[in-house]
Amino acid sequence: MPDRTHGEKRMEELARKGIHGRVLAFYDRCIRDMSAGADLAILDLGAGSGHVSLWLAAQDCVGSVVAYDKALKYMRELPKHPKIEKRSQGSNTALPFGSDEFDVVICRYVFHHFEQKAESLREVRRVLKPGGLLLLSDAVLPDHSKSVLNPLLHVREQNIGGYLTYHETLRALEDAGLCPVLWRPYTYSYESFAKYLEAVDDEFTDTAQDVGRLVAPVLKAKLRRAWAALDARVRTEMRVESGDRGIKGFSYDMFDVACRAVPVTGSD
Ligand SMILES: C[S@@+](CC[C@H](N)C(=O)[O-])C[C@H]1O[C@@H](n2cnc3c(N)ncnc32)[C@H](O)[C@@H]1O
């Protein structure tokens, strides 16, 4: 198997830190509230290694899971399961599914990848049955930190749309006809800045080794310099911890939200 991707490694790390368990407990509460014994049809949007798909497939109230990613190769670690179908054609703004097909759409740690967030959420709303649930988990950044850090994300990772603020997230959901009904905030800490920078190496797993060896150190040095020069407001908002040898770590806010699919009323 080729080297593991950043997403594959990160999801394993979240599982080790116990973050997975708490997110799944939130999802469990939401799907049990709505199932009433029904065999739920669920879309795991951006399924990756399939930690969520496999957990869903083990639940008795779940009838079927479609694990969707931008290419099949990103789901290579997800083993075959009778309840799980892997799909990858189409894009997140034109999903290969009919309208009103799913009781639940789960989108865990994928939203920041989407470039066209409004279109993506409208597409989620289209494939959800009326009254269905979107369970979304991701990070939010305060406005100033967002404007400083989103450009740096593009240095660290390709295929990143960027993070939204708390209010932008709520607004995007409401505008798409996805009404937030339950919100669980929590914090994620990068205890090691070196670990944060490792994502740069992971970007070169599919590239010739020489290219990675040459380019990754340059990009990491650029990120180290940019983080060392962050203004006081970002340092406070991101709870940046510094030591003798530069930045030690930082933290940011995350959320799990359950949204009910409602008719779109338009916004002002
Ligand atoms: C951090 S991983 C999360 C995987 C999984 N949702 C989980 O929580 O274990 C992000 C995943 O989103 C996928 N992804 C990124 N952009 C995507 C897009 N436009 N459409 C579908 N999947 C996408 C990536 O390939 C990767 O598998």
Q: What is the DSSP string of 177-190?
A: TEEEEEEEEEEEEE
CA atoms within 13 A on the CB side of 210: 0
77's tokens: 């670690």
What is the number of the ligand 1 atom nearest to the C-alpha of 114? 19
Asked if 127 and 221 sit in the same domain, the reply is: no
Domain ranges, residue 166:
6-141+159-189+252-261
- Residue of minimum CA distance from atom 26 in ligand 1: 48
Inter-CA distances, 116 with 111, 140, 230, 238, Å: 10, 16, 28, 25
The rounded distance, in Å, linking the Cα atoms of 170 and 163 is 13
Asked if 175 and 109 sit in the same domain, the reply is: yes
- pTM of the model as a whole: 0.92
Number of domains in the chain: 2
**Higher per-residue confidence, 133 vs 157:** 133
Among 56, 74, 110, residue to substitute to test ligand 1 (most atoms within 8 Å of Cβ): 110
- Residue of minimum CA distance from atom 12 in ligand 1: 46
Q: What is the pLDDT of residue 249?
A: 94
The rounded distance, in Å, linking the Cα atoms of 64 and 199 is 33
Asked if 22 and 112 sit in the same domain, the reply is: yes
- Residue of minimum CA distance from atom 10 in ligand 1: 110
Asked if 181 and 234 sit in the same domain, the reply is: no
Domain membership flag for residue 68 = yes
State the residue for tokens 């739920």: 40
Q: What is the pLDDT of residue 1?
A: 47
Highest-confidence range of 14-28, 48-62, 252-266, by mean pLDDT?
A: 48-62
Q: Which residues have CB under 6 Å of ligand 1?
A: 7, 10-11, 46-49, 51-52, 69-70, 74, 92, 108-110, 113-114, 159
Asked if 176 and 244 sit in the same domain, the reply is: no
Domain membership flag for residue 105 = yes
Residues 130 and 100: beta-carbon distance below 8 Å: yes
The rounded distance, in Å, linking the Cα atoms of 215 and 177 is 43
Q: State the distance from the centre of ligand 1 to the C-alpha of 107, rounded, in angstroms.
A: 8
Domain membership flag for residue 203 = yes
Q: State the distance from the centre of ligand 1 to the C-alpha of 147, rounded, in angstroms.
A: 23
25's tokens: 């407990």
Asked if 216 and 134 sit in the same domain, the reply is: no
Neighbour tally for 232: CB within 10 Å: 8
2 falls in which pLDDT band (50, 70, 90)? low
Residues 127 and 105: beta-carbon distance below 8 Å: yes
Asked if 94 and 122 sit in the same domain, the reply is: yes
Q: State the distance from the centre of ligand 1 to the C-alpha of 267, rounded, in angstroms.
A: 29
Asked if 238 and 173 sit in the same domain, the reply is: no
Asked if 10 and 106 sit in the same domain, the reply is: yes
Domain membership flag for residue 148 = no
pLDDT over 80 (residue 15): no
pLDDT over 80 (residue 107): yes
Asked if 167 and 67 sit in the same domain, the reply is: yes
Q: State the distance from the centre of ligand 1 to the C-alpha of 88, rounded, in angstroms.
A: 11
Q: Any idea what the CATH number is for the domain that residue 19 is in? A: 3.40.50.150
pLDDT over 90 (residue 54): yes
Average confidence (pLDDT) over 52-69: 96
The rounded distance, in Å, linking the Cα atoms of 218 and 228 is 15
pLDDT over 70 (residue 265): no
pLDDT over 60 (residue 243): yes
Residues 75 and 54: beta-carbon distance below 8 Å: no
Q: Which element (helix H / strand E) includes 130?
A: strand 128-140
Domain membership flag for residue 230 = yes
Asked if 214 and 136 sit in the same domain, the reply is: no
Asked if 199 and 213 sit in the same domain, the reply is: yes
Average confidence (pLDDT) over 169-197: 94
